[in-house]
Amino acid sequence: MAATRVITAASATTSCFLAKRAFVLPAKRSCGGGALCFSRRAFVLKSKRPFSCSAIYNPQVKVKEEGQPETLDYRVFFLDGSGKKVSPWHDIPLTLGDGVYNFIVEIPKESKAKMEVATDEDFTPIKQDTKKGKLRYYPYNINWNYGLLPQTWEDPSQANAEVEGAFGDNDPVDVVEIGETQRKIGEVLKIKPLAALAMIDEGELDWKIVAISLDDPKAHLVNDVDDVEKHFPGTLTAIRDWFRDYKIPDGKPANRFGLGDKPANKEYALKIIHETNESWAKLVKRSVDAGDLSLF
């Protein structure tokens, strides 16, 4: 039996691109807590004409569950105010302005079913990942809310010279949300990014943006990587170690991390978000080959 619940995503712009801003070249400097930071010697990205897409404006987003959880047929679809299916990846806007972003929960904290947006299915619903026809689970619970930034894409044809020349993993950018509340699958949260980890998974670059929901009691205390170390001590190391080691129980090698095995600061995280948003825009404009990816 299908169930429908309402999730409200905050007011949003219909622009698919982030506002133009200056981002930094990676000049390393010392940063507290062992984090990797970057100086403010900036270059300005070339201005591009904004790409107008079908992002939802001020959406009252509903999620509709089809099938039973933990079955191959289970899907979580997103509906707009009129009841039409929309894509959480393509139709929910990335940025709300003033440094606030939308984050879509795929895996609630303290759970281990490996849920993900089905990027190759129409309307890209959330489903449980499979391998050889069997549902996938992490070997142990993930300790943070996990999901994606809409309207981002890690381009598998682009090598990142700053991260060992690794190519993108062909997915939206992942978010690790460190707030205290266990969220629900399909929930849309307003977050602020705090740091970035450059995970390399079987040779592919798989960014992890560390963020906090604006409604978390500690949100006002944290604005950058150093604040995470201060108010959530040990969390950045725990995130890195969790994602490094979770495949080992299945007999696979540990994942690796670029950027000196350290978290990058907020400014660098925003640079990654901007770049992957631009890659997504090229994808939906069909400027690059989409392969099996669904564009609606």
DSSP assigned state of 242: H
DSSP assigned state of 99: T
Counting beta carbons within 10 angstroms of the beta carbon of residue 136, is it exposed (0 to 12), middle (13 to 18) or buried (19 or more)? middle
Task: Let me know if 138 is a catalytic residue.
Answer: yes
C-alpha 50: how far from chain center? 22
C-alpha 253: how far from chain center? 24
Gap between the Cα atoms of 228 and 208, Å rounded:
15
| DSSP assignment string, 74-131 | -EEEEE-TTS-EE-TTTTS-SEEETTEEEEEEEE-TTEEE-EEE-TTSTT--EEE-EE
Gap between the Cα atoms of 32 and 180, Å rounded:
24
Side chain identity, residue 268: Y
Exactly one of 57, 74, 138, 246 is catalytic; name it: 138
Which residues are part of the catalytic machinery? 138
